Structure 1
Amino acid sequence: MQTSFWVRRAHKWLGLVIGVQALLWMISGLYMVVVPLDVIHGDHLAHVSTEPLKPDATRIGHARLAELYPGLNSVRLKNMLGKEVYEIRQGKDAALVDVATGAKLSPLDRGTIMALAEESHVGEGDIRGIEWVTKAPSEVGSRPVPLWAVHYDEAGDTTLYFSPHTGDLVARRHNLWRIFDFVWMLHIMDYEERTDVNNTLLRVASITGFAFALSGAWLLLYSFTRRKRA
């Protein structure tokens, strides 16, 4: 008798403690299941150009680039706005250079970024503004700054982030992604970085939920046993 009393009481209080979080788990999980991941990633808002490269007859070789840029780690030929450019890396630093002269093209200016954004964007809105970002907002995570942020005047409040050093589209952000980020925070209970799926708070909540389920299972078995005796 005493055992059932204390298990019932524990079950009640465990339910009060974990109930709200369990509801948040279900709501956030439902959102993550209902909204397709490619929509969250913003694949429908912008694409990366796949046009074939147009060979440049005046292209300088890697040996000349190594002379111009000591400590060169890698060289990659890429297409930027229909023209060939080299993307070079020196240690952790990246830059774009002219294929004919080897002159450095980056950091890219506002006009070039606007052209890259218009080439990539497939939404319906127009550019509302272009921002030079030196302090990374939470929605771009740990991506290195500075970045160019191109804001669009459309229903989803789309923002495309470009690297000024490589011209790459590094992030697509819109309201559905921002909602996902918020419910993901609630789901994993990491209210600061929103990345740690093994944090202490989540562990405690999981253990509490497990204890709630065990106590409920015990009470269910107890009720059947008691009814059978009666």
Structure 2
Amino acid sequence: MNISGNTIFIPGATSGIGLALARALNARGNTVIIGGRRTDLLESIARETPSLRTVQVDTTDADSIRAAAATVLAEHPELNVLITMAGIMRVEDWTTPAGFLDTAEATVTTNLLGPIRLIAAFIEHLRSMNAATIMTVSSGLAFAPLRVTPTYNATKAAIHMLSESLRLQFDGSSVSVVELEPPAVRTALMPGQEESEFAMPLDDFISEVMALIETQPEATEIQVENVKFLRYGEARGDYPQVVATLNRLDPHGH
């Protein structure tokens, strides 16, 4: 993916990593459209950063995704990058019979079905472009589990394997598949995470991601240094120690 000259749609970009990345990409000469459920929040972001475009979308709703895709493509037929940013992370207790199912189902709908539906809505258009990118967003927890968020871990592992598989299917086409793999970052994804000493400052994360995109435009996985402890535990042979350390140090780290 080139660092500039793109037209990019980022659903789920009204806060946290999504909004910070949207602003950074916009500042580097990209046309960026952000999507979110709350129109009042979208309007506030547009006032703060007038160069960002906005569109209302609920990534848990298939009809909303189709409608947003139609709007984005009608207004921005040059669109060549989709970043499937939307996601939720919630604590679950599977040892309590009624303590997890609703949360697990909502997590799967948002974190897995959402990206699948988004890609389905845009893939025909992206394949018609001379060069296009799908950027998925997994997590360090795709590779080492946090005890309190089992379904989040599972959906991010699924996103990783979906990315690997789509890259094989689109090999030789105009569409590249890039996977962004965040570590714990200081955002409001989980209660207390914005103040966590174990989480990476958001500005530092975005700066490193932008540098990686710029210096490694052919990369298939965007990995800041902080995520490599989780990402390569099995390859290094210290996976049990990685899992133990993760779950001992930071109940909200990802």
TM-score (norm 1): 0.22
The structure where helix makes up a greater share of residues is 2
More strand by share: 1
